[in-house]
Amino acid sequence: MLREHGEVQVRAGTEADLAALTDLYNHYIRETCITFDTEPFTPAQRRPWLLSHPQDGPHRLLVAQEATERVEIPHNGPDGTPQPGVAGTPHPGVADQPPNGPADGSCGGLAATGTRRPGGALLGYATSSAFRPKAAYAPSVEVTVYCAPHAAGRGVGTLLYQALFEALAGEDVHRAYAGITQPNEASARLHTRFGFRHIGTYTEVGRKFGRYWDVAWYQKDLDCKGPGLKRTWTEADPD
């Protein structure tokens, strides 16, 4: 899976992302009540979590990152020493040349040029994970989304959830659940926009930063009923 939305790329997470994913999660551990983990992780400690989300099946890990990263290429002068240039400042003629400079490999007389390479900064990630370990819970998943603080306002959470639920559409998943530490209006709006509804709140279920926190639970009904299964009803079927 690889999707690009302008300057944001959404793809399956890999072990190459482990350090950045761990750093992002540790930010939320240290600074917020969004996660009830209280001690930061090392990448090695976080690796089993990453490996529990393969690139197919109901338990996914998707990451969002900058689609490209700016790399500055200094121009060497006649004596071989780099010449000064202003990073990121276009020079007349840059737009008319290939990304890595003229086709002949020369610097084209530019004081500094830049190229774009794939794989910029991590902007966020989303997961679908096992809801509970017992076998009968297998058709249910718990979903989460974490966005980097510097990515606020870019719609990263929306892009991640769009890709995640598209990926889950062909899987044997009947329900998706999200637990939202209260208060968190932005998260509630995001989940409501994706068809979640509030089904109840655990009051003072967690303790962090010297106080108790409520967790509101949201549920999304997915289309898949599983092979050969009929939906069960809590009240009599209509005639």
7 pLDDT band (50/70/90 cuts)? confident
Specify whether the CB–CB gap between 107 and 76 falls below 8 A.
yes
pTM over 0.75? The answer is no
Q: Residue 121: which of 162, 66, 70 has the closest Cα? A: 66
pLDDT at 72: 47
Provide CB contacts within 8 A for 95, sequence distance 6+. Answer: none
Lowest mean pLDDT among 61-65, 75-79, 87-91, 211-215: 87-91
CA distance 154 to 107: 35
CA distance 212 to 185: 18
pLDDT at 177: 98
Domain coordinates of the chain in residue numbers? 2-67+120-176
Specify whether the CB–CB gap between 178 and 215 falls below 8 A.
no
Is it the case that residue 146 has pLDDT exceeding 50?
Answer: yes
Average of per-residue pLDDT across 224-232: 49
87 pLDDT band (50/70/90 cuts)? very low
CA distance 1 to 188: 27
Residue of higher predicted confidence among 117 and 10: 10
CA distance 61 to 80: 46
In the DSSP assignment, the letter for residue 151 is G
Residue of higher predicted confidence among 104 and 198: 198
pLDDT at 101: 33
Is it the case that residue 233 has pLDDT exceeding 90?
Answer: no
HEC assignment per residue over 4-70: EECCEEEEECCHHHHHHHHHHHHHHHHHCCCCCCCCCCCHHHHHHHHHCCCCCCCCCEEEEEECEEE
Specify whether the CB–CB gap between 21 and 65 falls below 8 A.
no
Specify whether the CB–CB gap between 201 and 215 falls below 8 A.
yes
Measured from the Cβ of residue 121, the count of other Cβ atoms closer than 10 Å reads: 12
CATH class of 2-67+120-176: alpha beta
Specify whether the CB–CB gap between 189 and 195 falls below 8 A.
no
pLDDT at 119: 62
pLDDT at 152: 85
